[in-house]
Chains A and B, each alone.
Chain A
Amino acid sequence: MTKYILKRLLISILTIWAVATVCFFLLRLLPGNPFILQNPLDMKNAEKMMAFYGLDKPLWEQYVSYLQSLLRLDFGYSLTHVGRSVNDVIVQYFPITAQLGIQALLLGMPIGMALGIVSAVRRGGAFDYGCQIGSVVSTSIPSFVLAAVMQLVFGVYLKWFPVSQWLSFRHTILPTIILSLGIIAGHCRSMRTLMLEVGRQDYLKTAKSKGISNVRIVVFHQIRNAILPMITGLGMEIASLLMGSYIIEKVFSIPGLGAYFVTSITGLDYTMTMGLVVFQAAIVVFANFVVDLLYGLIDPRVRIV
């Protein structure tokens, strides 16, 4: 087990290193100069700034020094937000994005799974069809359209929730609901399919012929086996939710990390973009790592010795 963990840890670190390398050279392929972009007339100052940030050195040297600072978990200083380090930005804005994502997941996952389980049990019935139609309709609307309509209805006309900003828990309700709709639809559909797949297995026939009650079969035999494959996808899902949906953040003017992603790329803020990408990659890798370990704990069949 220790050997497996160590091996996975090594692969994780290698993956993050590869992401950092690819991203570093990809960003330098972009044409232009961040300081000329900020102030097009001031060529002299731009040169000074390049020298100050060490961007005038050969690319190879910059790469090595970047990796060295990465080892110290230091993402460097932003090129466009003067005097702010990327670490500061992440520490200040990541919790907001993470809160939104986690709230949406905590709201969406149980509801979606419950709907999926009920529609699998009442297969072919009115509830099942209702869920299928609901999931198609709710995924057919672009998130910013839905967000705008919800803002209008619940914020402007009914005045139940504030229209935008991120100040109190009440402000978080609308964006959480909108973000969780997609999660509900997705989990409902995959849970239903998995439940029906498990329903075809022989051990369920055995359970039934032993005379176990239907409720017991569904709860102890079907659900427990259907939930397992859902966990594999969880890592990716947590990671993408932790990084948030930039569009939702923009509609509700939530001060999350999303805005920095876009402005840093369009503003050629190399260090900021690099920092955010490496941070995101680290979260994805870490989430997958934890999920794989958990999977072994939950399902003894895949435990790696």
Chain B
Amino acid sequence: MEEIKLTGHPFDDGLTDDDFAPVPDRSAIVDSIRPSMRYWPEVGRRLMKNKVAVFSILLLTVIVLMAILVPILSPYEYDATSLMSARKPPSWEHPFGTDKVGRDMFTRVFMGTRTSLIIGVVGAFLPFVLGMVIGAVSGWFGGKVDMIIMRVVDIMLCIPSMIYMILILVVLGGSPTSLIIALALSGWMGSARSFRGRILQFRNREFVLAATTLGARPGRIIVRHILPNILGNMAVGLCSAIPGAIFAEAGMSYIGLGISPPMTSLGQLSSDGMQVFLTQFYLFFFPSLIICLIVFALFLFGNALRDALDPKLRDEDYLARMYRKTRRLTIRNTKKEAAANE
């Protein structure tokens, strides 16, 4: 997108008689004004200009593609044991080595990535949506409903989330579905609280009043009128919620309540690898590295998305630096001049 200058604008440098003459060709003026941009394409454009964002998107794409394509790329099954090739260090045949029953770690790591990514995305999205619905009901209807829901949230927040997770995992067993259910039931309170705040913030605005006057129902107002206003912030929040879900899965696996074998996840592989990490470092290293890379890329993307949604922040950062630099230079120059005058 090239810079468009505002030359030819009639109010640029004072008014002359010519300015009051009828404009012969309007297109000359209209063309010179910056074309209007829609919100989300503009955000996307700013995101693509940010090198960090592009890097994180590429990194995530590679990891996701590997997780999807691993059954095609690898000649081994993720749960096929082979005692002949047990405990092999990394080689061309087994890039990440093999574990104690001879399963190919390369295949297992990326199958685990698949599980962890599904748990991360769904396990972050589901409590988010659940909290949104509850928060919207609470914020929109107010009064007694609001009070009861908020008290329930307060009480549920008093019980450590690990208790819910362990309870649900003990009852339902270690599968991705039960982990996602556990995450959803233990994580909706925070998002309900913040979404309620957002609804309260927008509830009395004019455009909501206008929609109400036109007969829109609450559901429509919330989805069509209020949601677009907070979609950006929610996307940023979601980006940092996915790592939280991935970490929760890893932590549960470490305690011994995560995904049960032969199914696998990054958390399970990493915590299993920890047991032998003095002798077979690679069993610990690769799954941990993939967890770190996924989470790192998501955090970077979240930060970049926040900057793209609110470019003022980055501009202010830059201006603050330039301000300090000029002030420093000015002080130095004045001192030099003063020294020269003496």
Residues of A within 8 A of B (CB): 15-16, 18-19, 22-23, 26-27, 29-31, 122-125, 128, 132, 136-137, 139-145, 148, 152, 156, 196, 236, 240, 243, 246-247, 250, 261-262, 265-266, 273, 277, 280-281, 284-285
Q: Which B residues are CB-close (under 8 A) to A262?
A: 166, 255, 257
B320 touches A124 (CB 8 A): yes
List of B residues within 8 angstroms of A277 by Cβ: 159-160, 163
A143 to B277, CA, bound (A): 16
B170–A247 CB distance below 8 A: no
B302 to chain A, nearest CB (A): 9
Residues of B close to A139: CB separation below 8 A: 243, 295, 299
Q: Is B254 an interface position by the 8 A CB rule?
A: yes
Q: Are A142 and B291 in contact (CB under 8 A)?
A: yes
Q: Is B167 an interface residue (CB 8 A)?
A: yes
Tell me, rounded to whole Å, the shortest Cβ–Cβ distance linking B258 to chain A: 12
Identify the closest chain A residue to B171 (Cβ): A30
List, in ascending order, chain B residues with CB within 8 A of A285's CB.
Answer: 158
6 closest Cβ pairs, A-B complex: A124-B321, A124-B317, A140-B296, A123-B320, A281-B158, A140-B295
Q: How large is the interface on B (under 10, 10 to 19, 20 to 34, 35 or more residues)?
A: 35 or more
Pick from B159, B166, B321: contact of A19, CB below 8 A: B159
Q: Decide: A247 and B324 in contact? CB cutoff 8 A.
A: no
Of B159, B291, B316, the residue contacting A280 (CB under 8 A) is: B159
Q: Are A140 and B243 in contact (CB under 8 A)?
A: yes
A128 (CB) vs chain B CBs: closest residue:
B317
- A123-B317, A142-B270 known, 12 other contacts, Cβ within 8 Å: A15-B154, A124-B318, A136-B299, A136-B300, A140-B296, A142-B288, A145-B274, A148-B284, A152-B278, A246-B162, A247-B251, A261-B163
Q: Report the separation of the CA atoms of residues A240 and B158 in the bound assembly, to the nearest whole angstrom.
A: 10
Q: Which residues of B contact A (CB under 8 A)?
A: 151, 154-160, 162-163, 166-167, 170-171, 243, 247, 250-251, 254-255, 257, 267, 270-271, 274, 277-278, 284, 288, 291-292, 295-296, 299-300, 303, 316-321, 324
Known: A30-B170, A148-B274. A136 touches B296 (CB 8 A): yes
- A220 CB to closest chain B CB (Å) equals 20
In the complex, what residues of B have CB within 8 A of residue A124's CB? 316-321
Compute how far the CA of A141 lies from the CA of B267 in the bound complex, rounded to whole angstroms: 12
List 17 contacting pairs A-B, 8 Å CB cutoff, sorted by A: A15-B158, A30-B167, A30-B170, A128-B317, A139-B295, A139-B299, A141-B292, A141-B295, A143-B251, A144-B271, A145-B284, A145-B292, A152-B277, A250-B254, A265-B163, A266-B166, A273-B163
Complex interface: chain B residues within 8 A of A236 (CB): 157
Q: Which residues from chain B contact A284 at a C-beta distance below 8 Å?
A: 157-158
A142 touches B251 (CB 8 A): yes
Q: How many Å lie between the Cα of A265 and that of B250 in the bound state?
A: 19
What chain B residues lie within 8 Å of A132 (beta carbons)?
Answer: 303
Closest to A148 in B: B274
- Tell whether, in the assembled complex, residue A280 and residue B160 are in contact, meaning their CB atoms are under 8 Å apart: yes
Instruction: Please give, as numbers and ranges, the residues of chain B lying within 8 Å of A122 by CB-CB distance.
Output: 324
Considering the chains assembled together, what is the distance between the CA atoms of A159 and B217 in angstroms?
67
- Nearest to B287 among chain A residues (CB) is A145
Rounded to whole angstroms, the CA-CA distance of A198 and B187 in the bound complex is: 31
Q: In whole Å, how far is A250's beta carbon from the nearest beta carbon of chain B? A: 7
What distance in Å separates the Cβ of B174 from its nearest Cβ neighbour in chain A?
Answer: 12
Q: Report how far A198 CA is from B159 CA in the complex, Å.
A: 34
Q: How far is the CA of A230 from the CA of B290 in the complex (A)?
A: 34
Given contacts A140-B295, A140-B299, contact A265 B167 (CB under 8 A): yes
CA distance A246 to B151 in the complex (A): 28
